[in-house]
Chains A and B, each alone.
Chain A
Amino acid sequence: MKTPPSRDEIEISIFGPGIGEAIVIHVGDNEWLIVDSCIDRISRNPIAIKYLKDLNVNISSSVKFFIVTHWHDDHIRGASTILGECEGALFACSGAIGSDEFIQFCLSGRGALMESSGLEEFNDILEILSSRTDDGRMESRGPQWAIADRKLLHLPKKGRCFNVEVHALSPSDAAMTLALREIGQMMPKAGVPKRRVISQTPNHAAVALWVIIEDLNILLGSDLENHPPNNLGWKAVLISQNRPAGRALVVKVPHHGSSDAYNRDMWNQMVLSDPIALLTPFASGVKPLPSTADIGRIRKHASRIYCTGRPSGWHPPRRDPSVERTIRETVRTRRLIHGRMGHVRVRFKAGEGLNNPRIELFEQAFAVE
């Protein structure tokens, strides 16, 4: 697990502990991208940082790009720590949260006990960005606002093993308008008691990404969902004339494989016929994801499906028997949502072609049969 990829090896690593996910990509030449963040419960560090340190990567100079695809708790935990450590990385986040309303929303929550961990992280991110305003490097100030059809990163092949590009496929203009309206509705109002922010709205503002590493296309679906209007979610991505051409061999299945995020055309038009599908579970919510039905739906498009863990079945710590008995008498349902970290690693060696990936599963990760 601790063997770093060679200079001409591409790696896609996906981590998920039950709630939250993070993706780490080696684009060649010891240069790395990080997408989203979650915390390793044992080390209490962002898993991306822990993993790269385990590989002896110089994080401050080797991580070139870090994006938070949306501000929900399960994608942003530990993001400020990553930003703080990755001093050379271009930071990007959804254009929908690049609004004065959202910044005001974050700052209102500071110290007011209304914070979710997502807002708390974003506050810390703002502080880091603010502290970098005097260092003269525009890229350290960021963020690069991700909106549909915008190229977020280009590392040209000159002197490198591969040409690397990262494109945002979402959010669409309509999604940004909608997200701003939702933020407006969540804004605190005078006279209303303070409470924690619970965001249960659809993930309109999530950034789906298209990553090109030479001949390899990777589709990272984030939590982007599928909605009836053509100008939102996957439908907006599909009708766009400006998204990058080609089909993806590796897919991070959107929104943990949920039916809300399924779009058949996405699979038929943007993904190769036998892709490598990567999944993370989501153990919170009314229904843990992915369900058996979700897997069955994905199975129609992909025979190689790998998941970082199962969405349930973890055990809480051993507690006093009388406590356990009282809990059982009080609650109707109960589920531990934060299990052990799982890790799926896909590596492609230059010269061996894209047909011979090396797929490794660590900890709780498993191949879906």
Chain B
Amino acid sequence: MRISTEQAFAEQVEKTGYAFAEQAIDKYIIAPNINPVTEESQEAFVSDLARGSTETPKIVIELPRVLRKPPVTAQPQHRFRVLQKFEGTVLEISGQECRALVRDLTSPGYVEEVTFSIEEISASDRGLAVPGGIFYWYLGYDDHIEGQRYRSSAIIFRRFPAWREKDLIKAKKKAESLIKRLGWKREDSSFQR
């Protein structure tokens, strides 16, 4: 029976799951040789897929340049359903406590000041919890692959690049040019008109 590569892939997904089928088919996609597709090569490919072999194939077949992988249906996944999102700015770290302003991103216009234990921040993000540090705070349901649902709170800090010398030099030049344009003159510690 003649079968297309897409069909073969779809069937394999049914049998072994998406990730396993993908691993098997990737071996073919990277094969550079282009040979005419024959019934024999198709069958070899299908049988190779069925075995889940990861060895170098003996027969190299031509595959479409873009392989459309079929959508995965009804595959249970671990997912986080966000019900509420805040953007926060750390104001102060005092002992084991973090004081922060949180801006409601779900119902814009509300700003709250909160304090929470730094235990709420993951160990990898704690170094970022300094005054001025920006984080997102997500609240919602954590739906596990096994089907359980947990209420969940996740504080995730944003990682910003460091200042570069050239940024600072650029800002200084812009400041000088603006001051000149405005005609401000410096006298003592303030400008005088």
Question: Which positions in A face B, CB cutoff 8 Å?
Answer: 19, 41, 95-96, 98-100, 103-104, 107-108, 110, 112-114, 126, 129-130, 133, 138, 141-142, 144-145, 147, 173, 176-177, 180, 188-198, 200, 283-286, 316-317, 319-320, 322-323, 325-327, 329-338
Contact = CB atoms under 8 A, between A and B. Distances in A.
Interface of B: 83-84, 89-92, 97, 99, 101, 104, 106-107, 109-117, 120, 128, 130-134, 139-141, 151-153, 159-165, 167-168, 171-172, 174-176, 178-179, 181-184, 186, 188-193
Given A173-B189, A316-B110, A337-B111, 20 more contacts: A99-B190, A103-B178, A107-B171, A113-B134, A130-B178, A144-B193, A145-B192, A177-B189, A188-B167, A189-B163, A191-B162, A193-B159, A194-B160, A197-B132, A200-B131, A286-B99, A317-B110, A325-B151, A330-B153, A336-B112
Contacts of B139: 323, 326-327
B113 A190 contact: no
A287 B178 CA distance: 40
Contacts of B152: 326
A334 B109 contact: no
A173 B187 CA distance: 12
B40 to A, nearest CB: 59
Given A108-B168, A138-B193, A334 B112 contact: yes
A40 B13 CA distance: 57
A332 B178 contact: no
Contacts of B179: 100, 103
Contacts of B151: 322, 325-326
Nearest to B128: A193
Contacts of B132: 114, 195-198
A126 B174 CA distance: 12
B182 A317 contact: no
A284 B160 contact: no
B191 to A, nearest CB: 4
Given A98-B184, A326-B139, A326-B152, A337 B113 contact: yes
A148 B128 CA distance: 40
Contacts of A189: 163, 168
A320 B141 CA distance: 12
A143 B183 CA distance: 11
Contacts of A337: 101, 111-113
A41 B109 contact: yes
